[in-house]
Amino acid sequence: MAGDITSNEDQIARLRKRAEISPGRPLVMLNINRYHSAIEFPDGETYRAYMAAIQHSVEAVGGSILWRAEVEGSVVGDLDGFHEVLAVWYPTHDAFLALPTADGAKEMFGYRRTCVETAHIVELSDFSNPSV
Protein backbone atom coordinates (compact mmCIF):
# COMPACT_ATOMS: atom_id res chain seq x y z
CA MET A 1 0.00 0.00 0.00
CA ALA A 2 1.37 3.43 -0.89
CA GLY A 3 2.68 5.34 2.08
CA ASP A 4 3.50 2.26 4.19
CA ILE A 5 6.74 2.83 6.09
CA THR A 6 6.23 0.95 9.37
CA SER A 7 5.51 -2.59 10.51
CA ASN A 8 2.05 -3.51 11.70
CA GLU A 9 1.24 -5.38 14.94
CA ASP A 10 0.95 -8.77 13.21
CA GLN A 11 4.35 -8.37 11.56
CA ILE A 12 6.01 -7.43 14.86
CA ALA A 13 4.29 -10.35 16.64
CA ARG A 14 5.63 -12.71 13.97
CA LEU A 15 9.17 -11.35 14.46
CA ARG A 16 8.89 -11.73 18.23
CA LYS A 17 7.82 -15.33 17.75
CA ARG A 18 10.79 -15.93 15.43
CA ALA A 19 13.08 -14.45 18.09
CA GLU A 20 11.71 -16.97 20.62
CA ILE A 21 11.95 -19.94 18.25
CA SER A 22 15.38 -19.09 16.81
CA PRO A 23 17.41 -17.19 19.41
CA GLY A 24 20.83 -16.24 18.13
CA ARG A 25 19.90 -16.69 14.48
CA PRO A 26 21.11 -13.86 12.21
CA LEU A 27 18.96 -12.28 9.53
CA VAL A 28 19.07 -9.72 6.75
CA MET A 29 16.37 -7.17 6.19
CA LEU A 30 16.11 -6.17 2.54
CA ASN A 31 14.72 -2.62 2.40
CA ILE A 32 13.21 -1.43 -0.89
CA ASN A 33 12.51 2.30 -0.63
CA ARG A 34 10.76 4.97 -2.64
CA TYR A 35 11.83 8.41 -1.41
CA HIS A 36 10.03 11.73 -1.44
CA SER A 37 11.37 13.87 -4.27
CA ALA A 38 12.19 16.70 -1.87
CA ILE A 39 15.11 14.74 -0.37
CA GLU A 40 16.98 14.79 -3.71
CA PHE A 41 18.04 11.13 -3.75
CA PRO A 42 20.91 10.20 -3.89
CA ASP A 43 22.83 13.43 -3.36
CA GLY A 44 20.60 15.48 -1.07
CA GLU A 45 21.74 16.53 2.38
CA THR A 46 18.66 15.05 4.08
CA TYR A 47 19.16 11.69 2.35
CA ARG A 48 22.82 11.58 3.41
CA ALA A 49 21.83 12.45 6.99
CA TYR A 50 19.24 9.64 6.94
CA MET A 51 21.86 7.10 5.76
CA ALA A 52 24.25 8.22 8.52
CA ALA A 53 21.46 7.88 11.11
CA ILE A 54 20.61 4.38 9.85
CA GLN A 55 24.25 3.33 10.05
CA HIS A 56 24.57 4.67 13.61
CA SER A 57 21.39 3.02 14.91
CA VAL A 58 21.96 -0.31 13.17
CA GLU A 59 25.51 -0.49 14.53
CA ALA A 60 24.15 0.36 18.01
CA VAL A 61 22.23 -2.96 18.01
CA GLY A 62 25.18 -4.93 16.59
CA GLY A 63 24.08 -4.90 12.95
CA SER A 64 25.63 -3.57 9.78
CA ILE A 65 24.61 -2.25 6.39
CA LEU A 66 25.86 -4.86 3.92
CA TRP A 67 25.20 -2.83 0.78
CA ARG A 68 23.02 -0.20 -0.86
CA ALA A 69 22.11 -0.05 -4.54
CA GLU A 70 20.04 2.24 -6.69
CA VAL A 71 17.02 0.58 -8.36
CA GLU A 72 17.36 0.65 -12.14
CA GLY A 73 13.90 -0.77 -12.86
CA SER A 74 11.77 -3.88 -12.58
CA VAL A 75 12.09 -7.05 -14.63
CA VAL A 76 9.21 -8.87 -12.92
CA GLY A 77 6.62 -7.13 -10.72
CA ASP A 78 6.14 -3.45 -10.25
CA LEU A 79 8.92 -1.68 -8.39
CA ASP A 80 9.15 1.13 -10.92
CA GLY A 81 9.49 4.40 -9.09
CA PHE A 82 11.42 2.86 -6.20
CA HIS A 83 14.83 4.35 -5.66
CA GLU A 84 17.02 2.12 -3.54
CA VAL A 85 17.56 -1.30 -2.00
CA LEU A 86 19.48 -1.67 1.26
CA ALA A 87 20.60 -4.99 2.74
CA VAL A 88 20.93 -4.71 6.52
CA TRP A 89 22.35 -7.57 8.61
CA TYR A 90 21.30 -8.13 12.22
CA PRO A 91 22.88 -10.69 14.56
CA THR A 92 19.46 -11.77 15.89
CA HIS A 93 15.76 -11.00 15.65
CA ASP A 94 16.02 -9.44 19.11
CA ALA A 95 18.64 -7.01 17.76
CA PHE A 96 16.27 -5.98 14.97
CA LEU A 97 13.40 -5.62 17.45
CA ALA A 98 15.64 -3.41 19.64
CA LEU A 99 16.17 -0.93 16.82
CA PRO A 100 13.35 1.46 17.88
CA THR A 101 15.06 2.03 21.25
CA ALA A 102 18.66 2.01 19.99
CA ASP A 103 20.99 4.94 20.38
CA GLY A 104 20.05 7.47 17.68
CA ALA A 105 16.80 5.70 16.75
CA LYS A 106 14.62 8.74 17.41
CA GLU A 107 16.65 10.72 14.87
CA MET A 108 16.72 7.80 12.40
CA PHE A 109 12.95 7.27 12.51
CA GLY A 110 12.40 11.03 12.22
CA TYR A 111 14.45 11.03 9.02
CA ARG A 112 12.54 7.93 7.87
CA ARG A 113 9.24 9.81 8.14
CA THR A 114 10.74 12.73 6.22
CA CYS A 115 12.51 10.73 3.51
CA VAL A 116 10.62 7.51 2.80
CA GLU A 117 7.38 7.63 0.86
CA THR A 118 6.87 3.86 0.59
CA ALA A 119 8.92 0.90 1.80
CA HIS A 120 8.94 -2.84 1.40
CA ILE A 121 11.09 -4.59 4.01
CA VAL A 122 11.65 -8.28 3.46
CA GLU A 123 13.12 -10.63 6.07
CA LEU A 124 15.78 -13.01 4.78
CA SER A 125 16.83 -15.61 7.32
CA ASP A 126 20.00 -17.36 8.43
CA PHE A 127 22.78 -15.70 6.54
CA SER A 128 25.34 -17.49 8.71
CA ASN A 129 24.80 -20.61 6.57
CA PRO A 130 23.67 -19.64 3.06
CA SER A 131 22.71 -22.50 0.78
CA VAL A 132 23.06 -22.72 -2.96
pLDDT in tens, 18-71: 878 878 889 999 999 999 998 999 999 999 999 999 999 999 999 999 999 999
Say which CATH number the domain at 15 has.
Answer: 3.30.70.100
pLDDT value of residue 132: 42
Any domain includes 130:
no
Tell me, rounded to whole angstroms, the distance of Cα 16 from its chain centroid. 17
pTM for the full predicted model: 0.84
| Structural domain contains residue 58 | yes
Q: Has residue 62 been placed in a domain?
A: yes
Beta bridge partners of 122: 30
Phi, psi of 36 (to 5 degrees): -65, 140
* pLDDT score of 84: 96
CB 47 within 8 A of CB 39: yes
Range of the domain at 32: 9-125
Burial class of 121 by CB neighbour count within 10 A (0 to 12, 13 to 18, 19+): middle
Q: How many domains does the chain have?
A: 1
